[in-house]
Amino acid sequence: MNNVKSNPSLLDKYIELKQMEDQVQALYIWIDGQQNIRAKTKTLNFIPKLVSELPIWTTDGHSNYITETNVEIYLSPIRMYNDPFRGGNNKLILCEILYEDFTIPPLNTRHTCNVVMDMAANQEP
């Protein structure tokens, strides 16, 4: 097996590329049907301040091991953070997945956990 050497300055060349100030790279992140982290980037023509401003996006349910047939699933933004890797106004968007009819798939345990935590919010440990 051959070892491949890379030039560390090569990444810097791309990280330092100028980006239009009125555009944001929003990296949508979700967990697929095999509990792997998935992500894809959407370019936005505005700088989002609230999660509610972010568009719901779609991805293929079958290739994400969520559905048995080739249907779209929705990526619903839940949390937004400044992107420490891309910098600038770019964002990391944590999403939960929803079926086409906006119902919650059984593997979406974040939603169920959140419902239970909300019910117990006033409880003392």
33-55 pLDDT, tens digit per residue, is 888 899 999 999 999 999 999 99
Whether 40 and 56 have beta carbons less than 8 Å apart is answered as no
Answer for the pair 38, 31: CB distance below 8 angstroms, yes or no: yes
**pTM more than 0.75:** yes
Which residue from 30, 37, 38, 106 is spatially nearest to 67, judged by alpha carbons? 106
Taking 90 as the threshold, does the pLDDT of residue 68 lie above it?
no
At residue 41, what is the residue type?
T
Query: How many Å apart are CA 80 and CA 121, to the nearest integer?
Result: 22
Task: Give the angle 41-43-45 at the CA atoms, nearest 5°.
Answer: 160
pLDDT > 90 fraction of the chain, expressed in percent and rounded:
48
Domains and CATH numbers, the chain: 13-119 (3.10.20.70)
Q: What residues does 39 pair with on adjacent strands?
A: 29
DSSP single-letter state for residue 79: E
* Residue 65: pLDDT over 70: no
State residue 55's pLDDT score.
Answer: 97
